[in-house]
Amino acid sequence: MTAEIVLMNKDAIAIAADSAVTLTIGHDREKIFSSTHKIFTFI
């Protein structure tokens, strides 16, 4: 599950998300990554 928050006003926007990702491998194995980037810059 991902937690995200957005704060904005007339001058700026701030976006934040947690950094953990859980991948399920097969039916009974999980791999947890604790430093994954979930927010990317688009220009």
The pLDDT tens digits for 17-35 are 888 888 898 888 999 888 8
State the pLDDT at residue 43: 73
What SS3 class is residue 42?
A: coil
Is the model's pLDDT at 42 over the cut of 80?
A: no
Would you place residue 6 in the very low, low, confident or very high pLDDT band (cuts 50, 70, 90)? very high
**36: its two tokens:** 């994954």
User: What percent of the chain is predicted at pLDDT more than 90?
Assistant: 33
- Widest Cα–Cα separation across the chain: 47
> What CA–CA distance (Å, rounded) separates 30 from 35?
16
